[in-house]
């Protein structure tokens, strides 16, 4: 039994990851229908083949060739599915690009996702790491999702609590689930509140709105402010390949935080509800001397030290080398272990 014609062999992935790292997938399929997943799941030639679910490739470090099957979620569609007194419920296919989807909700007058504009990637990838920016995270607006379970062949619905959302984390990331390619998220439903309030507590957002003398901003105006900030600080992957924030912001216990402030009184810190304290990874990297510094073809971006950039011709090995150098210097200087945000394949 041959593989279906829509399964590509030796597929070049270099243009399918925003860090533009070289690598090929032994097998690659654009998934526009769950029936394709059912077929691949049962195919005898694929019984022992490793799988990886790919969205926009914006949170991925490709470490050479992948000797498995890449499932690229490419289904499309978005619609208002319900409305009640408190909210609009909007559903989008996993393969929809995130940013145009957010703009579409705003054009329709449904505020709620505006702080998350311009995040690269797809709708289907957004719950995996519970994307967040400027005081809002996906979990705040999430209603439910559908995933195809490659282990059982069933379509499974996940409500908010089932996803076990945490800081840039979810059940889909835990225990290597994303590396096993078990759940393929085919659509996501968002709950967008009718009693919308702007979230402007992040300094950059407040300053941008102030600069335009915007006192009571609309969702559209918050979106414009976030777009302006992001365009100033973050490199466009089309021009300078990158995967957004490369390290997670470390969260340390209160005692470690106190010890750190005693030594570094200017260190930015954000107390969490559970008593722990979030540190700014970008600040730690900058203080360790890595802002705008490179190792071979890989560097930490000159305007935002948290973003690792491929300055041209880098491989996954180059990225690992630079990542380890940054981690070592931050650890030596602050005793804090940085954890990378992207997935390594």
Report the interface residues with ligand NAP, using CB under 6 A.
132-134, 201-204, 233-234, 244-245, 249, 268, 270, 278, 280, 282, 304, 306, 341
72 Cβ contact list (under 8 Å, min separation 6) = 16, 28, 29, 30, 31, 54, 55
Q: How far apart are CA 100 and CA 116, in angstroms?
A: 11
CA dihedral sign of residues 95, 97, 101, 104: negative
Residue nearest to ligand NAP (CB): 244
Among the listed residues 325, 327, 343, the one whose alpha carbon sits nearest the alpha carbon of residue 121: 343
- In the complex with ligand NAP, which residue's Cβ is closer, 29 or 223? 223
List 16, 51, 78, 168, catalytic entry: 168
Q: How far apart are CA 200 and CA 207, in angstroms?
A: 9
Among the listed residues 263, 260, 325, the one whose alpha carbon sits nearest the alpha carbon of residue 288: 325
Closest distance of CB 228 from ligand NAP, Å: 12
Quick check: is 218 catalytic? no
Quick check: is 168 catalytic? yes
Closest distance of CB 172 from ligand NAP, Å: 16
Q: Is 213 left (phi over 0), alpha (psi -120 to 50) or beta?
A: left
Q: How far apart are CA 18 and CA 238, in angstroms?
A: 8
- In the complex with ligand NAP, which residue's Cβ is closer, 111 or 132? 132
- In the complex with ligand NAP, which residue's Cβ is closer, 57 or 68? 57
- In the complex with ligand NAP, which residue's Cβ is closer, 95 or 244? 244
- Count of all residues that appear for the chain in the document: 345
Closest distance of CB 144 from ligand NAP, Å: 23
102 Cβ contact list (under 8 Å, min separation 6) = 113, 114, 116, 117, 223
Closest distance of CB 280 from ligand NAP, Å: 4
Quick check: is 126 catalytic? no
- In the complex with ligand NAP, which residue's Cβ is closer, 17 or 245? 245
Closest distance of CB 277 from ligand NAP, Å: 11
216 Cβ contact list (under 8 Å, min separation 6) = 198
Helix, strand, or coil here: 81?
A: strand
Which residues have a catalytic role annotated? 168, 245, 341
């Amino acid at each position: 039994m041959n593989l279906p014609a829509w399964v590509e062999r030796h597929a070049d992935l270099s243009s399918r990851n925003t860090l533009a790292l070289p690598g090929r997938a032994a097998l690659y399929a654009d998934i526009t229908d769950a029936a394709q997943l059912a077929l691949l799941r049962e195919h005898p030639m694929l019984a022992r083949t490793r799988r990886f679910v790919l969205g926009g490739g914006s949170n991925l470090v490709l470490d050479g060739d992948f000797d498995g099957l890449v499932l690229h979620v490419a289904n499309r569609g978005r619609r208002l599915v319900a409305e009640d007194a408190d909210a609009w419920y909007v559903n989008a296919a996993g393969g929809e690009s995130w940013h145009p989807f957010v703009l579409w909700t705003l054009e329709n007058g449904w505020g709620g996702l505006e702080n998350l504009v311009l995040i690269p990637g797809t709708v289907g990838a957004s719950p995996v790491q519970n994307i967040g920016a400027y005081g809002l995270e996906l979990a705040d607006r999430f209603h439910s999702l559908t995933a195809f379970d490659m282990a059982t062949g069933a379509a499974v619905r996940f409500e908010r609590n089932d996803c076990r959302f945490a800081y840039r984390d979810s059940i889909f990331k835990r225990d290597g689930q994303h590396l096993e390619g078990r759940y393929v998220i085919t659509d996501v439903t968002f709950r967008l509140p009718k009693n919308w309030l702007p979230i402007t507590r992040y300094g950059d957002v407040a300053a941008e709105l102030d600069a335009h003398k915007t006192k009571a901003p609309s969702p559209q105006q918050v979106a414009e402010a976030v777009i302006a900030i992001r365009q100033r600080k973050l490199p466009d992957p089309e021009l300078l390949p990158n995967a957004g924030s490369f390290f997670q912001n470390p969260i340390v216990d209160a005692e470690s935080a106190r010890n750190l402030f005693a030594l570094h009184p200017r260190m930015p810190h954000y107390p969490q509800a559970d008593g722990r304290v979030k540190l700014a990874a970008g600040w730690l990297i900058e203080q360790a001397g890595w802002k705008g510094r490179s190792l071979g073809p890989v560097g930490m971006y000159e305007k935002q030290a948290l973003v690792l950039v491929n300055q041209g011709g880098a491989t996954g090995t180059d990225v690992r080398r630079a990542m380890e150098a940054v981690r070592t210097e931050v650890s030596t200087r602050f005793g804090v272990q940085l954890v990378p945000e992207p997935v390594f394949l």
